[in-house]
């Protein structure tokens, strides 16, 4: 490999420089030229960020129509979830540039309340919402996640009621009438015969319920349904007795020879593929998620129906809540009035409500539109069920959503605790809920301690003598 000296000598005279130098100098020259000539962001007056490509595609048309009547233009961009997270945090921390209107999801927004309340980068919109009457017209529950210390940091988009989506084709072919199955116990027992090894290779290929463990969402949703995540002061209550019971049951479902749940991460191609194949029959589904099924798994058309969640106890709550999205206006905006006008146009008009429903199946928190007939239109994809009406019926019984900045840690503890419990149950071969419960209690007590410890460590709240309040 080493060149002989004479070799090196002749080469030395021929090319004094590494070939790499010339290649890189030309690359540098071309790319610098490109960067210099690249048109810089022209001053679209109001800049709008959303965390979802599909939202962007849908807003694009609305905004195009709307801004034709306005004196300013809107620049619409969609950012990836984690990217938006990163950008917002650095913008609010370090004063980096940020858009004028931002659509964010709950978990992300909550981290922003983690510091001193005065340093929250979003404007307090309470006054505007109050004087223009929106505080009355919009369901109270919708504001809860965005309200800290009497300040309202965002306009709510949704209530996000939850139902259970099930493969009607398979379930009905098996002669099961789900309308009678009003508790989880009855539901699982009735469905149990459907858990099968279809191709006879010795491994089960059909489960009742998909319960992803790598994501806190579904687990937390089920806990919220029949248990309690936070007390009135928004302190976590993860080791609540009801939570322990729910955890115990879930761990029982996910283990043993009579395992009835699959663990497929949602939001990935694999999920929709396996849902279509009938690898699992039921999915915990908030309103916003139904549109994903239509888009990503078209082959499921006419095969899925929705039903209220079976209750944890007879007569118990038949729904839950999962997710939440708001529009916020950063304090740094130079165009508050324009931003506010845009935000209202996108979220608060009756037309916007209809639009959110038609595009994403999301029901509006604006009570004044609840009687509208578009919510009653049958949806062919869901066997002609009137999706909106079904979800709206559940909106009176929603469990609360908390503004706690520790929501992410909460979901992390929930999923971690569950995986831990599931493993213990597997290793020790525990069969009955009585055997599982003591372990569930211990694990949740532990998780609760972790959360409280995390909260008590936050000097920014304790310095002010109070922790976040409703």
Residues of this chain, 94-113, that bind another protein according to CB under 8 A:
94, 96-98, 111
Residues of this chain, 237-266, that bind another protein according to CB under 8 A:
263-264
Which of 60, 93, 136, 140 binds another protein (CB under 8 A)? It is 93
Long-range contacts of 427-434 (CB under 8 A, 24+ apart): 429/256, 430/255, 431/256, 432/252, 433/248, 433/249, 433/252
Q: Under 8 Å CB-to-CB from 48, ≥6 apart: which residues?
A: 59, 63, 74, 75, 76, 77, 99, 100, 101, 102, 103, 342
Q: How far is the CB of 408 from another protein (least distance, A)?
A: 8
Residue 105: Cβ within 10 Å count: 18
Residues of this chain, 285-304, that bind another protein according to CB under 8 A:
296
Q: How far is the CB of 209 from another protein (least distance, A)?
A: 16
Which of 62, 66, 75, 91 binds another protein (CB under 8 A)? It is 91
Residue for token digits 């909260």?
455
Residues of this chain, 27-86, that bind another protein according to CB under 8 A:
27-28, 30-32, 34-35, 38, 41, 52-53, 77-83, 85-86
Comparison of 121 and 310: residue with beta carbon closer to another protein? 121
Site size for another protein, by CB under 8 A? 75
**Contact criterion met (CB below 8 Å) for 376 and 307:** no
Burial class, 215, CB count within 10 angstroms (exposed 0-12 / middle 13-18 / buried 19+): middle
Comparison of 187 and 418: residue with beta carbon closer to another protein? 418
Which of 269, 315, 429, 465 binds another protein (CB under 8 A)? It is 269
Which of 7, 12, 196, 438 binds another protein (CB under 8 A)? It is 12
Integer Cα distance of 377 and 404 in angstroms: 37
CA dihedral over 191, 193, 196, 202, signed as positive or negative? positive
Which of 6, 10, 18, 65 binds another protein (CB under 8 A)? It is 18
Site string for another protein, 146-165 (x = CB under 8 A): --------------------
Taking Cα atoms as reference points, which of 259, 261, 244, 229 lies closest to residue 434? 244
- The two tokens of residue 167 are 């493969």
Q: How far is the CB of 287 from another protein (least distance, A)?
A: 19
Residues of this chain, 368-387, that bind another protein according to CB under 8 A:
none
The dihedral region occupied by 200, where left means phi > 0, alpha psi between -120 and 50, and beta the remainder, is left
Q: Is 463 in the site for another protein (CB under 8 A)?
A: yes
Which of 62, 66, 72, 115 binds another protein (CB under 8 A)? It is 115
Which of 66, 72, 73, 114 binds another protein (CB under 8 A)? It is 114
Comparison of 119 and 433: residue with beta carbon closer to another protein? 119
Residue 11: Cβ within 10 Å count: 11
- The two tokens of residue 428 are 């020790």
**Contact criterion met (CB below 8 Å) for 436 and 430:** yes
Q: Is 89 in the site for another protein (CB under 8 A)?
A: yes
Which of 20, 175, 315, 465 binds another protein (CB under 8 A)? It is 20
Integer Cα distance of 264 and 195 in angstroms: 16
Give the C-alpha distances (Å, rounded to integers) separating 34 from 23, 286, 301.
17, 46, 47
Residues of this chain, 404-433, that bind another protein according to CB under 8 A:
408, 412, 415-416, 418-420
Q: How far is the CB of 187 from another protein (least distance, A)?
A: 24
């Amino acid at each position: 490999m080493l060149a002989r000296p004479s070799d090196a000598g002749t080469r030395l005279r021929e090319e004094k420089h590494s070939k790499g130098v010339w290649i890189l100098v030309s690359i540098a020259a071309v790319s610098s030229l490109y960067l210099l000539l690249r048109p810089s962001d022209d001053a679209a007056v109001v800049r709008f960020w959303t965390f979802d490509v599909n939202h962007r595609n849908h807003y694009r048309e609305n905004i195009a129509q709307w801004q034709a009547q306005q004196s300013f233009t809107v620049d619409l961009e969609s950012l990836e979830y984690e990217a938006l997270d990163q950008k917002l945090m650095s913008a609010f921390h370090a004063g980096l540039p940020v858009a004028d209107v931002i659509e964010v999801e709950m978990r992300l927004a909550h981290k922003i309340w983690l510091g001193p309340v005065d340093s929250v980068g979003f404007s307090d919109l309470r006054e505007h919402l109050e004087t223009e009457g929106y505080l009355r017209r919009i369901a109270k529950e919708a504001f809860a996640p965005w309200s800290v210390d009497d300040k309202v940091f965002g306009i709510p988009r949704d209530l996000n009621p939850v139902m259970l989506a099930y493969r009607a084709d398979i379930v009905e072919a098996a002669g099961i009438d789900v309308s009678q199955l009003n508790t989880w116990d009855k539901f699982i027992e009735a469905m149990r015969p459907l858990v099968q090894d279809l191709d006879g290779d010795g491994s089960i290929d059909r489960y009742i319920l998909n319960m992803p463990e790598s994501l806190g969402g579904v687990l937390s949703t089920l806990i919220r349904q029949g248990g309690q995540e936070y007390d009135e002061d928004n302190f976590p209550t993860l080791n609540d007795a009801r939570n322990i019971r729910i955890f115990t049951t879930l761990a029982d479902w996910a283990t043993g020879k009579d395992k009835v749940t699959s663990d497929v991460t949602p939001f990935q191609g694999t999920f929709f593929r396996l849902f279509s194949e009938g690898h699992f029959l039921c999915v915990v589904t908030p309103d916003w998620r139904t549109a994903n099924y239509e888009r990503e798994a078209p082959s499921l058309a006419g095969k899925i129906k929705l039903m209220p969640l079976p209750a944890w106890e007879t007569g118990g709550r038949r729904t839950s809540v999962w997710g939440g999205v708001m529009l916020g206006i950063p304090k740094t905006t130079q165009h508050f009035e324009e931003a506010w006008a845009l935000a209202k146009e996108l979220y608060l008009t009756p037309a916007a409500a209809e639009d959110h429903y038609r595009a994403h199946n999301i029901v509006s928190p604006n009570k004044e539109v609840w009687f509208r007939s578009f919510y009653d239109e049958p949806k062919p994809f869901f066997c002609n069920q009137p999706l909106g009406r079904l979800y709206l019926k559940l909106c009176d019984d929603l469990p609360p959503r908390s503004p706690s900045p520790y929501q992410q840690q909460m979901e992390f503890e929930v999923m971690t605790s569950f995986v831990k419990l599931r493993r213990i149950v597997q290793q020790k071969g525990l069969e009955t809920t009585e055997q599982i419960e003591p372990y569930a209690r211990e694990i949740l007590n532990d998780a609760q301690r972790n959360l409280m410890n995390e909260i008590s460590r936050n000097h920014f709240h304790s310095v002010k003598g109070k922790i976040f309040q409703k």
